[in-house]
């Protein structure tokens, strides 16, 4: 991992910040935290899956910069990405006497980052948050752009990210050296979001995004096998896509040239798949349920097939997407799905349903995507069948 550090600016007026990407970025907490945070107390919300040395590195960097610390380790699960967890962290913040000038550090994957961000957005009506993502998915996606929140359980249903706030971090430190301990399954999940960015990169960046899908497909298999030679460049190029979309439509108001909703490409399908607890990526019951990134991968294949059925994707492009997803070891179809008609019905629970009308993000060739309101039922069914639904 000899790549130089990269800095990506997120330009949002007085909420602007930098994403620092590279091996060793976490140690920069020492020099940079006091520049972006006026207070001197920090609540560190650290992922329980991280090696102790990573948590200690962050704690030492903050301590040597003069911060008093309280640390809470959190075992991430979608079930515990909840208001109960937020409540207990708010109590930790109060116990540690954080005031409005102080900071919450989210050190971990997307779950820890989303929860830590929401705690920061809520405590005393908002304190600072620094995000230090440690999964590939959180580096390229969840840590950037200010969406924070938790899930809501209503009876049998776990409604994903149903409660939350837009709350931009003061800084993001994506230390790619932390990926060395990330299990391969989660490296693959991050690559699913990278392929998604590749599929929207022209819409987000214009011609500069033209080769992103192809390049990601090229380096993806190496990353999936744990070779992190190109990790900094990968994260930097994908943060650029996220940054451009967030800059164009920070709060998903859908008013400008680019809608933030396009970041949800594949997700309307994926959210349904995530609700199916017994489906596994490889047919082995032990690996059920699907992880978020695996569901997104299947969602990309389904959305691409849907677009094909609507005449918006050529056969070769559909095959290219399926090939790229499969070549990084992500599932392109799964066993044990309910009937396509049942799955299509469940899509209507999604947050993207507005006024009873389904809105799905559809690729328009490789690199471009658009919000499709009320897509033809037959095309949606075609999408579900492409990933194995009967």
Applying CB under 6 A, does 88 fall inside the site for ligand NAD? no
For residues 160 and 146, what is the distance between their CA atoms, to the nearest angstrom? 16
Applying CB under 6 A, does 267 fall inside the site for ligand NAD? no
Applying CB under 6 A, does 327 fall inside the site for ligand NAD? no
- CA 97 from chain centre, in angstroms, equals 31
Write down the least CB distance from residue 197 to ligand NAD, Å: 11
For residues 320 and 326, what is the distance between their CA atoms, to the nearest angstrom? 10
350 close to 317: Cβ distance less than 8 angstroms: no
**Is 188 or 385 the residue whose CB approaches ligand NAD more closely?**
188
Choose which of 32, 147, 247, 385 interacts with ligand NAD (CB under 6 A).
147
Instruction: Write out the binding residues for ligand NAD, residues 187-246 only, by CB under 6 A.
Output: 189
Task: Write the CA distances from 311 to 83, 95, 154, 175, 368, integer angstroms.
Answer: 43, 58, 38, 42, 14
Closest listed residue to residue 275, CA positions, set 257, 256, 290: 290
Write down the least CB distance from residue 66 to ligand NAD, Å: 26
Residue position matching structure tokens 């994260």: 235
Choose which of 46, 121, 130, 182 interacts with ligand NAD (CB under 6 A).
182
Applying CB under 6 A, does 264 fall inside the site for ligand NAD? no
Cβ within 8 Å of residue 337, ≥6 positions away:
276, 279, 343, 384, 387, 388, 389, 390
Applying CB under 6 A, does 388 fall inside the site for ligand NAD? no
Applying CB under 6 A, does 47 fall inside the site for ligand NAD? yes
Task: Write the CA distances from 160 to 82, 114, 280, integer angstroms.
Answer: 10, 12, 19
User: Interface mask (CB under 6 A) for ligand NAD, residues 329-368, using x and -?
Assistant: ----------------------------------------
- Using CB under 6 A as the binding criterion, the count of chain residues that bind ligand NAD stands at 30
73 close to 109: Cβ distance less than 8 angstroms: no
Applying CB under 6 A, does 262 fall inside the site for ligand NAD? no
115 close to 93: Cβ distance less than 8 angstroms: no
Applying CB under 6 A, does 120 fall inside the site for ligand NAD? no
**Is 79 or 377 the residue whose CB approaches ligand NAD more closely?**
79
Write down the least CB distance from residue 201 to ligand NAD, Å: 17
Q: How many CB atoms lie within 10 A of CB 12?
A: 15
Write down the least CB distance from residue 333 to ligand NAD, Å: 21
**Is 107 or 387 the residue whose CB approaches ligand NAD more closely?**
107
210 close to 367: Cβ distance less than 8 angstroms: yes
Applying CB under 6 A, does 260 fall inside the site for ligand NAD? no
Stretch that binds ligand NAD, among 47-55, 277-285, 312-320, 358-366 (CB under 6 A): 47-55
Applying CB under 6 A, does 383 fall inside the site for ligand NAD? no
User: Interface mask (CB under 6 A) for ligand NAD, residues 48-87, using x and -?
Assistant: xxx-------------------------x-x--x------
Q: How many CB atoms lie within 10 A of CB 253?
A: 10
Choose which of 33, 55, 111, 172 interacts with ligand NAD (CB under 6 A).
111
Q: Where are the alpha helices (DSSP H) in the chain?
A: 29-36, 52-64, 83-95, 110-122, 136-137, 184-205, 212-224, 231-248, 267-274, 292-309, 315-327, 340-346, 377-386
Write down the least CB distance from residue 99 to ligand NAD, Å: 26
Applying CB under 6 A, does 46 fall inside the site for ligand NAD? no
Choose which of 21, 86, 89, 138 interacts with ligand NAD (CB under 6 A).
138
DSSP states of 166-235: E---SEEEE-GGGGGGS-HHHHHHHHHHHHHHHHHHHHHHGGGGTTHHHHHHHHHHHHHTT--TTHHHHH
Applying CB under 6 A, does 161 fall inside the site for ligand NAD? yes
Write down the least CB distance from residue 133 to ligand NAD, Å: 7
6 close to 24: Cβ distance less than 8 angstroms: no
**Is 181 or 229 the residue whose CB approaches ligand NAD more closely?**
181
Tell me if residue 291 falls in helix, strand or coil.
coil
> Which residues bind to ligand NAD, rule: CB under 6 A?
47-50, 76, 78, 81, 108-112, 114, 134-135, 137-138, 141-142, 145, 147, 160-161, 178, 181-182, 186, 189, 292-293
């Amino acid at each position: 991992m000899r790549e130089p550090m990269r800095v990506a600016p997120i330009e949002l007026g007085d909420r602007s910040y930098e994403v620092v990407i590279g091996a060793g970025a976490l140690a920069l907490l020492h020099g940079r935290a006091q520049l972006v945070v006026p207070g001197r107390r920090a609540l560190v919300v650290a992922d329980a899956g991280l090696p102790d040395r990573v948590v200690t590195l962050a704690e030492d960097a903050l301590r040597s910069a003069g911060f008093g610390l309280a640390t809470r380790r959190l075992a991430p699960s979608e079930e515990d990405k909840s208001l109960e967890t937020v409540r207990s962290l708010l109590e930790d913040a109060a116990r540690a006497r954080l005031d409005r000038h102080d900071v919450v550090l989210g050190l971990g994957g997307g779950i820890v980052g989303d929860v830590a961000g929401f705690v920061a957005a809520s405590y005393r009506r908002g304190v600072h948050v620094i995000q230090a993502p440690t999964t590939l998915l959180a580096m390229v996606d969840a840590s950037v752009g200010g969406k924070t929140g938790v899930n809501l359980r209503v009876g049998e249903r776990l409604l994903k990210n149903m409660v939350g706030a837009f709350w931009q971090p003061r800084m993001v430190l994506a230390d790619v050296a932390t990926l060395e301990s990330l299990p391969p399954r989660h490296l693959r999940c991050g690559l699913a979001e990278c392929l998604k960015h590749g599929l929207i990169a022209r819409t987000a960046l214009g011609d500069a995004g033209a080769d992103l899908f192809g390049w990601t497909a090229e380096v993806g298999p190496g990353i999936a096998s744990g070779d992190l030679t190109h990790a900094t460049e990968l994260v930097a190029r994908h943060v650029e896509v996220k940054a451009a979309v967030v800059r164009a439509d920070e709060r998903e108001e859908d008013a400008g040239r680019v809608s933030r909703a396009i970041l949800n490409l594949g997700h309307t399908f994926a959210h349904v798949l995530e609700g199916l607890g017994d489906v596994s990526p490889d047919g082995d019951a032990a690996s059920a349920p699907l992880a978020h990134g695996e569901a997104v991968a299947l969602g990309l294949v389904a959305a691409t097939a849907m677009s094909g059925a609507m005449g918006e994707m050529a056969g070769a492009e559909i095959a290219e997407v399926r090939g790229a997803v499969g070549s990084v070891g992500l599932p392109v179809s799964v066993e044990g799905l309910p009937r396509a008609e049942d799955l299509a019905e469940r899509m209507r629970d999604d947050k993207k349903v507005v006024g009873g009308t389904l809105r799905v993000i559809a690729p328009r060739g490789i690199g471009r995507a658009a919000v499709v309101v009320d897509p033809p039922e037959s095309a949606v069914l075609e999408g579900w069948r492409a990933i194995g639904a009967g």
